[in-house]
Amino acid sequence: MSFGETPITVIGNLTGEPELKYTASGQALARFTIASTPRTFDRESNQWKDGTSTFFRCAAWRTLAEHIAGSLPKGSRVVASGRIRQHDWQTPEGEKRSMLVVEVDDIGASLRFTNVSIEGKGTRTAPATSSDPWNAVTSEPETGSGAKADEPPF
Protein backbone atom coordinates (compact mmCIF):
# COMPACT_ATOMS: atom_id res chain seq x y z
CA MET A 1 0.00 0.00 0.00
CA SER A 2 1.39 3.38 -0.90
CA PHE A 3 1.28 6.61 1.06
CA GLY A 4 -2.04 8.46 0.95
CA GLU A 5 -4.28 5.49 0.23
CA THR A 6 -7.25 4.85 2.48
CA PRO A 7 -6.98 1.43 4.15
CA ILE A 8 -10.13 -0.40 5.18
CA THR A 9 -11.14 -3.67 6.81
CA VAL A 10 -14.67 -4.90 6.16
CA ILE A 11 -16.39 -7.71 8.05
CA GLY A 12 -19.64 -8.99 6.62
CA ASN A 13 -21.35 -11.45 4.29
CA LEU A 14 -21.05 -11.91 0.54
CA THR A 15 -24.36 -10.88 -1.03
CA GLY A 16 -23.88 -13.08 -4.09
CA GLU A 17 -21.47 -15.42 -5.82
CA PRO A 18 -18.19 -13.67 -6.71
CA GLU A 19 -18.10 -12.83 -10.42
CA LEU A 20 -14.82 -13.94 -12.03
CA LYS A 21 -13.77 -12.35 -15.33
CA TYR A 22 -10.54 -12.04 -17.27
CA THR A 23 -9.18 -8.89 -18.87
CA ALA A 24 -7.99 -8.83 -22.49
CA SER A 25 -4.45 -9.34 -21.18
CA GLY A 26 -5.53 -12.43 -19.23
CA GLN A 27 -5.59 -10.95 -15.71
CA ALA A 28 -8.25 -12.43 -13.40
CA LEU A 29 -10.70 -10.02 -11.77
CA ALA A 30 -13.24 -10.99 -9.11
CA ARG A 31 -16.09 -8.62 -8.31
CA PHE A 32 -18.32 -9.11 -5.28
CA THR A 33 -20.26 -7.22 -2.64
CA ILE A 34 -19.91 -7.49 1.13
CA ALA A 35 -22.85 -6.46 3.32
CA SER A 36 -21.95 -5.32 6.82
CA THR A 37 -24.86 -5.12 9.24
CA PRO A 38 -24.39 -3.84 12.79
CA ARG A 39 -26.35 -5.61 15.53
CA THR A 40 -27.27 -4.26 18.94
CA PHE A 41 -28.93 -5.93 21.87
CA ASP A 42 -32.22 -4.36 22.95
CA ARG A 43 -32.53 -4.96 26.69
CA GLU A 44 -36.20 -4.01 26.76
CA SER A 45 -37.24 -6.68 24.26
CA ASN A 46 -34.35 -9.00 25.18
CA GLN A 47 -33.54 -9.47 21.47
CA TRP A 48 -30.85 -8.65 18.97
CA LYS A 49 -31.79 -5.93 16.46
CA ASP A 50 -30.21 -5.45 13.04
CA GLY A 51 -29.12 -1.95 12.09
CA THR A 52 -28.88 -0.50 8.60
CA SER A 53 -26.68 -2.58 6.28
CA THR A 54 -23.79 -1.00 4.43
CA PHE A 55 -22.87 -2.56 1.09
CA PHE A 56 -19.24 -2.49 -0.05
CA ARG A 57 -18.54 -3.18 -3.72
CA CYS A 58 -15.21 -5.03 -3.90
CA ALA A 59 -12.67 -6.08 -6.52
CA ALA A 60 -9.70 -8.43 -6.34
CA TRP A 61 -7.07 -9.23 -8.96
CA ARG A 62 -4.91 -12.10 -10.21
CA THR A 63 -4.62 -15.32 -8.17
CA LEU A 64 -6.48 -13.77 -5.24
CA ALA A 65 -9.46 -13.26 -7.57
CA GLU A 66 -9.37 -16.90 -8.63
CA HIS A 67 -9.07 -18.08 -5.03
CA ILE A 68 -12.04 -15.96 -3.97
CA ALA A 69 -14.21 -17.26 -6.83
CA GLY A 70 -13.25 -20.85 -6.05
CA SER A 71 -13.56 -20.65 -2.26
CA LEU A 72 -16.18 -18.17 -1.09
CA PRO A 73 -19.83 -18.80 -1.99
CA LYS A 74 -22.77 -16.43 -1.51
CA GLY A 75 -23.48 -15.85 2.17
CA SER A 76 -19.91 -16.49 3.34
CA ARG A 77 -18.93 -14.38 6.33
CA VAL A 78 -15.59 -12.78 5.50
CA VAL A 79 -12.94 -10.40 6.79
CA ALA A 80 -11.48 -8.38 3.92
CA SER A 81 -8.76 -5.76 3.97
CA GLY A 82 -7.77 -3.44 1.19
CA ARG A 83 -7.92 0.13 -0.05
CA ILE A 84 -10.76 2.42 -0.99
CA ARG A 85 -10.51 3.61 -4.58
CA GLN A 86 -12.74 5.99 -6.50
CA HIS A 87 -13.57 5.10 -10.09
CA ASP A 88 -14.79 7.88 -12.37
CA TRP A 89 -16.39 7.44 -15.80
CA GLN A 90 -18.72 9.11 -18.21
CA THR A 91 -21.99 7.62 -19.50
CA PRO A 92 -22.72 7.52 -23.25
CA GLU A 93 -25.04 10.49 -22.60
CA GLY A 94 -22.10 12.49 -21.21
CA GLU A 95 -23.06 12.29 -17.50
CA LYS A 96 -20.14 12.05 -15.10
CA ARG A 97 -20.35 9.18 -12.62
CA SER A 98 -18.16 7.90 -9.79
CA MET A 99 -18.17 4.93 -7.49
CA LEU A 100 -16.14 3.85 -4.45
CA VAL A 101 -14.70 0.33 -4.60
CA VAL A 102 -12.70 -1.64 -2.04
CA GLU A 103 -9.69 -3.11 -3.86
CA VAL A 104 -9.13 -6.18 -1.72
CA ASP A 105 -5.54 -7.13 -0.84
CA ASP A 106 -6.45 -10.02 1.47
CA ILE A 107 -9.62 -11.85 2.45
CA GLY A 108 -10.54 -14.83 4.58
CA ALA A 109 -13.49 -16.62 6.03
CA SER A 110 -14.59 -15.34 9.43
CA LEU A 111 -14.45 -18.07 12.08
CA ARG A 112 -16.78 -16.28 14.48
CA PHE A 113 -19.84 -18.37 13.64
CA THR A 114 -18.47 -21.38 11.71
CA ASN A 115 -15.60 -23.79 11.12
CA VAL A 116 -13.68 -23.94 7.85
CA SER A 117 -11.18 -26.34 6.30
CA ILE A 118 -8.09 -24.95 4.62
CA GLU A 119 -6.66 -26.72 1.57
CA GLY A 120 -3.75 -25.96 -0.73
CA LYS A 121 -0.19 -24.71 -0.44
CA GLY A 122 1.17 -23.99 2.99
CA THR A 123 -1.28 -26.14 4.90
CA ARG A 124 -0.10 -28.77 7.26
CA THR A 125 -1.48 -32.23 6.49
CA ALA A 126 0.24 -34.14 9.29
CA PRO A 127 0.88 -33.30 12.95
CA ALA A 128 4.18 -31.63 13.77
CA THR A 129 7.12 -33.96 14.35
CA SER A 130 9.71 -33.67 17.08
CA SER A 131 12.16 -32.22 14.50
CA ASP A 132 9.80 -29.28 13.98
CA PRO A 133 11.41 -26.35 15.86
CA TRP A 134 7.98 -24.87 16.66
CA ASN A 135 6.94 -28.14 18.31
CA ALA A 136 10.15 -28.62 20.32
CA VAL A 137 9.14 -28.74 23.99
CA THR A 138 12.02 -30.39 25.81
CA SER A 139 15.01 -29.20 23.77
CA GLU A 140 16.09 -26.06 21.99
CA PRO A 141 17.73 -26.11 18.55
CA GLU A 142 21.49 -25.64 18.50
CA THR A 143 23.05 -22.66 16.75
CA GLY A 144 26.24 -22.92 14.69
CA SER A 145 28.33 -21.77 17.67
CA GLY A 146 27.08 -24.55 19.93
CA ALA A 147 24.92 -22.15 21.99
CA LYS A 148 21.17 -22.63 22.38
CA ALA A 149 19.00 -20.52 20.08
CA ASP A 150 16.24 -18.37 21.54
CA GLU A 151 13.99 -18.75 18.52
CA PRO A 152 13.48 -21.43 15.89
CA PRO A 153 15.68 -20.95 12.80
CA PHE A 154 14.18 -19.81 9.51
- For the stretch 122-131, contacts whose Cβ atoms lie closer than 8 Å and that sit 24 or more positions apart, written own/partner, are none
Stretch among 8-12, 28-32, 56-60, 142-146 having the lowest mean pLDDT: 142-146
- The confidence score (pLDDT) of residue 113 equals 86
Tell me the whole-structure pTM to 2 decimals: 0.72
Estimate the share of the chain in helix, then strand, then coil, as percent rounded to the nearest 5: 5, 45, 50
145 confidence band (pLDDT: 50, 70, 90): very low
Please name which of 97, 76, 95 lies closest in space to residue 87, comparing C-alpha atoms.
Answer: 97
- pLDDT-above-90 percentage for the chain: 68
| Predicted local confidence at residue 29, as pLDDT | 97
| pLDDT-derived band at 119, boundaries 50, 70, 90 | confident
pLDDT at residue number 150: 54
Report all structural domains of the chain as residue ranges with CATH numbers, in order of start. 6-109 (2.40.50.140)
Coil, strand, or helix at residue 123? Answer: coil
pLDDT in tens, 67-99: 999 999 999 999 999 999 999 999 999 999 999
Res. 3 pLDDT band, cuts 50 70 90: confident
- In this prediction, residue 6 carries a pLDDT of 86
What pLDDT, on a 0 to 100 scale, did the predictor assign at position 139?
A: 43
